[in-house]
Structure 1
Amino acid sequence: MLIAGGGLVGLTTALVLRHHGVDVTLVEKRATTSPQPKARRFHVRSLEIFRELGLAETVHEAARDLADHDCMAVGKTLAEAEQLPPWRPSGAGESMDVSPELPCLVAQNVLEPVLRQAAQDAGADIRFSTALTSFEQDADGVVAELADSGLRASYLVAADGARSPVRSALGIGRSGRGAIGEDSVNVYFRADLADVVRGREFNICQIQHPDAPGGLASVDGRLNWVFMTPGGDVDRDWPALLRTALGVPAPDLEVMSVLPWRPEMLVADRYSSGRVHLAGDAAHVMPPFAAVGANTGIADAHNLGWKLAAVLSGAAAPSLLDSYDAERRPAGWFAADQSSRRATDLTAAPDPTLAHPFVLAAGGFQYPAGAISGGPAEGGEAEPVTEFAPAGRVGTRIPHRWLDTARTKSTVDLAGPGWALAVADDPQRWRPGGIPVHRLDVDFLGAGEGVLIRPDDVVAWRGTDPTAPANVLEKLLHA
Structure 2
Amino acid sequence: MSGQRTPEVLVVGGGLVGLTAALVLRHHGVPVTVVERRETTSPQPKARRFHVRTMEIFREMGLAGLVHEAARDLAGHDHMAAGRTLAEAEQLPLWQPTGVSAVEVSPELPCLIAQDVLEPVLRAAAVEAGAEVRFSTELLGFEQTTDGVVGRLAGEEIHAQYLIAADGAHSGVRDALGITRSGQGAVGEPNVNVYFYADLASVVRGREFNLCRIDHPDIPGGLASVDGRRRWVFMTPGADTDRDWPTLVRTALGVPAPDLEVRSVLPWQAEMLVADHYSAGRVHLAGDAAHVMPPYAASGANTGIADVHNLGWKLAAVLRGEAAPSLLASYHAERRPAGWFVADQSTRRAESFTLGTPDPTLAHPFVLAAGGFQYTEGALVPDGSEEPILEFAPAGRVGTRIPHRWLDDSRSTVDLAGPDWATVTGDQVDFLSDDECLLVRPDDIVAWRGASTAEATKVRDALLTA
Q: Place the TM-score, normalised by the shorter chain, in its bin.
A: over 0.9
8 Å CA contact 1:265–1:340 kept in 2: the answer is yes
Structure 2 residue aligned with 1:383: 387
Find out whether 1:461 has 2:448 as its counterpart: yes
Relative to structure 1, the CA distance from residue 167 to residue 347 in structure 2 (aligned partners, 3 Å threshold; closer, same or farther) is closer
What amino acid sits opposite 1:285 in the alignment?
A: V
Distance 2:365 2:355 in 1: 16
Find out whether 1:314 has 2:318 as its counterpart: no
Distance 1:382 1:95 in 2: 23
CA drift of 1:96 comes to 4.3
CA drift of 1:475 comes to 1.5
Instruction: State the percentage of identical aligned residues.
Output: 73
Distance 2:20 2:305 in 1: 6
Q: Deviations over 1:164-210 (max 9, x none)?
A: 00000000000000000111100000000001111111111011101
Structure 2 residue aligned with 1:43: 51
Give the superposed CA RMSD: 1.4
Structure 1 residue aligned with 2:423: 421
Structure 1 residue aligned with 2:22: 14
Structure 2 residue aligned with 1:429: none
Structure 1 residue aligned with 2:368: 360
Q: Deviations over 1:411-441 (max 9, x none)?
A: 00000000000112xxxxxxxxxxxxxx51x
CA drift of 1:471 comes to 2.0
Residue 89 of structure 1: SS of its match in structure 2? coil
Distance 1:90 1:312 in 2: 44
Residue 141 of structure 2: SS of its match in structure 1? strand
Distance 1:211 1:451 in 2: 57
Find out whether 1:245 has 2:247 as its counterpart: no
Q: How many residues align?
A: 457
CA drift of 1:404 comes to 2.8
Equivalent residue for 1:129, pick from 111, 136, 141: 136
Q: Deviations over 1:273-324 (max 9, x none)?
A: 0000000000000000000000000000100000000000000000000000
Q: Deviations over 1:10-57 (max 9, x none)?
A: 000000000000000000000000000000000000000000000000
Find out whether 1:59 has 2:67 as its counterpart: yes
Relative to structure 1, the CA distance from residue 53 to residue 233 in structure 2 (aligned partners, 3 Å threshold; closer, same or farther) is same
Q: Which runs of 5+ in 2 are unaligned?
A: 1-8
Find out whether 1:446 has 2:433 as its counterpart: yes
Range 10-19 or range 148-157, more displaced: 148-157
Q: Deviations over 1:48-99 (max 9, x none)?
A: 00000000000000110001111111111001111111112324x6664200
Distance 1:199 1:345 in 2: 27
8 Å CA contact 2:102–2:109 kept in 1: the answer is no
Structure 1 segment 33-182 matched on structure 2, within 5 A: 33-91=41-99, 96-182=103-189
Equivalent residue for 1:412, pick from 414, 421, 433: 414
Equivalent residue for 1:227, pick from 224, 231, 234: 234
8 Å CA contact 1:130–1:148 kept in 2: the answer is no
Residue 367 of structure 2: SS of its match in structure 1? helix
What amino acid sits opposite 2:460 in the alignment?
A: L
Equivalent residue for 1:399, pick from 403, 406, 414: 403
CA drift of 1:331 comes to 0.5
CA drift of 1:466 comes to 4.1
Equivalent residue for 1:274, pick from 243, 266, 281: 281
CA drift of 1:269 comes to 0.3
Q: Deviations over 1:459-478 (max 9, x none)?
A: 00001134421221122101
Distance 1:374 1:368 in 2: 6
Relative to structure 1, the CA distance from residue 34 to residue 94 in structure 2 (aligned partners, 3 Å threshold; closer, same or farther) is closer
Residue 240 of structure 1: SS of its match in structure 2? helix
Distance 1:265 1:13 in 2: 23
